[in-house]
Amino acid sequence: MDSRRWIIAVLVTVSTHSMTLNPAGQMVRADELKTLDGEWTFVEDRTEGRALEQLGPPMSSKFSIKVEDGAVILNGHGSGHKDVRVALDGTITEISEPKTISRYQGTWKDGTFKYDVTFERIGSSAPQSIRQITRSFRTTPDGLEVSVKVDPPVVKDSVGLYRHAEDIPMPAAAKASIGDMAWLAGAWVGTRSTGATNEERWSPPLGGAMLAVSRSVNTSGKMFAFEYLRIVERDGGLIYIAQPGGRTPTEFVLTEVSANRAVFENPRHDYPNRIVYELSADGSLSATIGQIKGGTPRRFDFQREINN
């Protein structure tokens, strides 16, 4: 091959596989970095030695990464879910906020993107006013493996698996009709430990659906949350549809049902991805939200409202 043809071949190769340099001067192929691209949803806690109730995501339940020339854009990795640009050449990105300064420094080596973020409290002379978190991201056949290390070690190092939502299989649906949920119909009211009240008002099953509205009111008598709810028949099963604050609907598949208990799941949703309703023998109702596996779920207790 003559010299001109060799130069052209090299230029074509570099153009096809765009590259950048890491701090060690090693070439990083853009197509390797691109495996980090997209929105990632927590799937599984892979931290060794954790009890079931301790299982949970090592960072946000959902975050996104965008790869651009020589840098990675992070969203959902810090406070306020703001975008942070982390260069791969060792350059420090500094973000100033009213009470803290955050400094990000990233690298790419051996198929792993890693960045250190140091948080410094402004005007603080207290011990541990400087804290560092190291996060590593590595694509595997199972998904994106994320490890987190905190220094000083206020928590143990943790490892979790994330996937793109479309790559997370939905659970098998239980066979059921809307009549199987008739026990949920009625007006249910409850009081939290804070004194705030919750209510869910479910219509009787009719036309293949049950409809509800949920409302939470604080001790000052002001509503601070509401939600539109539906349970509808679909393909021989039931779908629970939630719209907190009237926002975009999220669907959960019925996976278990009995005469007094129903479980709805959506592993593609960040949190919650499991909702359980259960009617007790004394006539009270509980609604529990949390993770499909592990963690500490949140429980809301209700009594049936009695009209005089």
Comparison of pLDDT for 33 and 140, the residue scoring more: 140
Cis peptide before 205 (omega within 30 of 0): no
Residue range 112-124, pLDDT digits in tens: 999 999 988 876 5
Using left for φ > 0, alpha for ψ between -120 and 50, and beta otherwise, residue 192 falls in beta
Interval 215-230 mean pLDDT = 97
- Residue 203 CB burial class (10 angstroms; 0-12, 13-18, ≥19): middle
Please, which pLDDT band fits residue 130 given cuts at 50, 70 and 90? low
* Residue indicated by tokens 């603080």: 124
- Do residues 178 and 190 make contact, with C-beta atoms less than 8 angstroms apart? no
Domain limits, the chain? 18-167, 178-304
Q: Reply yes or no on whether the pLDDT at 45 is more than 90.
A: yes
As a whole number of angstroms, the distance between CA 205 and CA 180 comes to 9
In percent, the amount of the chain with pLDDT more than 70 equals: 85
Place domain 18-167 in its CATH homologous superfamily.
Calycin beta-barrel core domain (2.40.128.20)
Residue range 1-23, pLDDT digits in tens: 443 433 333 333 333 344 444 44
Q: Reply yes or no on whether the pLDDT at 149 is more than 70.
A: yes
Q: Reply yes or no on whether the pLDDT at 82 is more than 60.
A: yes
Q: What average pLDDT does the structure give for the chain?
A: 87
Q: Which residues pair with 264 in a beta bridge?
A: 254, 275
The pairing of strands 19-21 and 27-29 is antiparallel
The pairing of strands 100-109 and 93-96 is antiparallel
pLDDT in the model for residue 276: 98
Please tell me if the domain spanning 18-167 has the same topology as the one spanning 178-304: yes
- Do residues 133 and 150 make contact, with C-beta atoms less than 8 angstroms apart? yes
| Fold of domain 178-304 | Lipocalin (2.40.128)
Please, which pLDDT band fits residue 179 given cuts at 50, 70 and 90? very high
Q: Reply yes or no on whether the pLDDT at 233 is more than 90.
A: yes
User: What separation in angstroms does the CA of 285 have from each of 92, 189, 235, 265, 280?
Assistant: 53, 9, 28, 19, 6
User: E strands, 8-152, where?
Assistant: 19-21, 27-29, 38-45, 62-68, 71-75, 84-87, 93-96, 100-109, 112-121, 130-140, 143-151
At position 15, the amino acid (one-letter code) is S
As a whole number of angstroms, the distance between CA 86 and CA 73 comes to 6
- Kindly report the backbone phi and psi dihedral angles of residue 125, in degrees, each rounded to the nearest multiple of 5, phi listed first: -110, 5
Which residues fall within 8 angstroms of residue 16, CB to CB, at 6 or more apart?
none
Alpha helices in the chain (DSSP H): 3-16, 30-33
Q: pTM of the entire structure?
A: 0.84
